[in-house]
Structure 1
Amino acid sequence: MSTRVGPLDVSFSAPIGVTVKGDLWSCVEVPDSVELFGTGKTIKVAATVDGEPLTAGLLPTGIGGHMLSISAKLRKKLGKELGDTVAVHLSERFT
């Protein structure tokens, strides 16, 4: 567990689509994120999704984890839809 800001090296693959309050959101769930980051609050990170760089907030899922939003623009660029799997690499924690 680390609450420190700085470099990360966390990679995982996950399907696009997290159910939040009965709705399917265009996000991927970060495995073991509360243990990894030491908090359930929003965390700003640098990441790549299928090699495309982005800076984003990992949002609380509401059930004890975090999710990374995958925008419609990014999904279109990647040629991905809800349910498709993407490769995510978290490279830096800013908050």
Structure 2
Amino acid sequence: MEKDNAYPTFLTVPDSVAVLETGRAVKVTGTLDGHPFAATLMPSGTGAHWLPLRAALCTQLGKSAAGELVAVHLQQRLS
């Protein structure tokens, strides 16, 4: 997990522009540490997307600090 001024908590999805074949926002579903989620991957402008995490989901995961590891499984692209 990471933190900055743009998003309170987010994950970087490396090489996502190449995999998704777009640098635009993309809606996805998946799991974080086994917990289901739906969110929008936001373009970072550097060839990756950011996955912003809502505070409620971070609480559910029991994680809130930058640098904590989260198992991510993207299951479906919705847009």
Aligned length: 77
Q: Is the 8 A contact 1:18 1:29 kept in 2?
A: no
2:2 corresponds to which letter in structure 1? G
Give the superposed CA RMSD.
1.4
Q: Which secondary structure state, in structure 1, belongs to the residue aligned with residue 37 of structure 2? A: strand
Residue 86 in 1 paired to residue 70 in 2?
A: yes
CA distance in 1, matches of 2:37, 2:61: 13
Runs of 4+ in 1 over 4 A off after TM superposition: none
Matches within 5 A, 1:1-95: 16-19=1-4, 23=5, 25=7, 26-83=9-66, 84-95=68-79
CA distance in 2, matches of 1:94, 1:78: 23
% identity of equivalent residues: 40
CA distance in 2, matches of 1:18, 1:63: 17
Q: Is the 8 A contact 1:49 1:86 kept in 2?
A: yes
TM-score w.r.t. length of structure 2: 0.87
Once the two structures are TM-superposed, the CA of residue 82 in structure 1 deviates from its matched residue by 2.6
1:90 corresponds to which letter in structure 2? L
Unpaired runs of 5+ residues, structure 2, are none
Once the two structures are TM-superposed, the CA of residue 18 in structure 1 deviates from its matched residue by 4.9
